[in-house]
Amino acid sequence: MGILEKFKLDGKRAFVTGGARGIGRSIVTAFLEAGADVAIVDTDIAEARRAADELKSIGPRVIAIEADVTDQAQVERMVAEVVSTFGELNVAYCNAGICINAKAEEMTFEQWRKVMAVNADGVFLCAQAAGRQMIKQGKGGSIISIASMSAHIVNFPQPQCAYNASKAAVIHLSKSLAVEWVGKNIRVNTISPGYIATELITRSPELTDLIAEWEKQIPMHRLGRPDELQAISVYLASDSSLYTTGSDFVIDGAFTCV
C-alpha cells in the first residue's frame, strides 16, 4: 500500500463532537473528503443538521446527532446511533470544549465545574464509550481528543485557570488510555492547537484587542486556521499512524517555543 493510500479513510466510521462549527466542522469536512462516514455531534442540533446538509455534496454518509457530552446516557446513545447507522465505529474525535475567562479569585465553583465537565468529563465519557465499542468490535480504532497549547503554557493576559487545567487533564487522560488499550489496538492521541481563528473568535468584538495581543506573541504573527488542523487529524484517524499512540501534537505557530 502506497503512502497516499494509507491516508485514505475509506471504510472508516467516525463521530466528531462539537462538529457543527469551527474546528469540529473543519475536521468533519476533512474526514468526509478522505472517505469516512461521519456523525456530526453537537448540542445545537439545528446547526448540526444544517452542516450535514451542506456537506452531503462531499460525502453523503454524514448525519447529525444531538448529544451533550457531559451526560453519560446521551453519550452512550450517541455511540449506539452511530453504530446503528454506519455499522461500526472506528474513529472518535473528541472536540467539544468551552473556555470561561475569569480571575481565579473571582471564578465561581459552578464556572469551574462547567469547564471541567465539558472539557475533561466530556472527553472521558466519549472516549470511554468509544473504547468500549471498539473493544467489542475487536478491530481496534483511533480516539483523538482536542487538548490545547494551554495544557503546556499559561496564556496571558486572559485568566483561564479552569481551561488550562482541563486541557492538561485531557492530555494525561489520553496517555493513560493509550497505555491501557494498546493491547486492544486502540490508539489514543491528542492535538494541542494554539490560537485558531474560528468564527466564534474572529467575530467577537470583545476579543479584538486580545487577538492583536496574541498576534504579537505568536512567532508567525497570525492565528492558525481551522483547516490547518486537518492534516494531523486525518493522519491520526488513518492507518498511516498505526504506531502512533499516547502522543500529543502541538500545532501553534511556534507559540510554545518562546
The residue assigned the cell 474513529 is 91
Joined grid coordinates for residue 3: 503512502
Q: Do the Cβ atoms of 13 and 88 come closer than 8 Å?
A: yes
Q: Is 167 a catalytic residue?
A: yes
**Neighbour-count burial for 150-187, b at 16+ CB within 10 Å, e otherwise:** bbbbebeeebbbbbbbbbbbbbebbbebbeebeeeebb
∠ Cα 226 229 234 (to 5°): 130
Catalytic residue of the set 142, 145, 150, 167: 167
Q: Where are the beta strands (DSSP E) in the chain?
A: 13-17, 37-42, 62-66, 91-94, 141-146, 186-193, 248-251
What are the distances in angstroms from CA 22 to CA 17, 27, 48, 97, 197? 11, 9, 12, 11, 9
Q: Is 233 a catalytic residue?
A: no
Catalytic residue of the set 163, 166, 195, 233: 163
Q: Is 56 a catalytic residue?
A: no
Catalytic residue of the set 148, 150, 166, 192: 148
Q: Which residues are catalytic?
A: 148, 163, 167
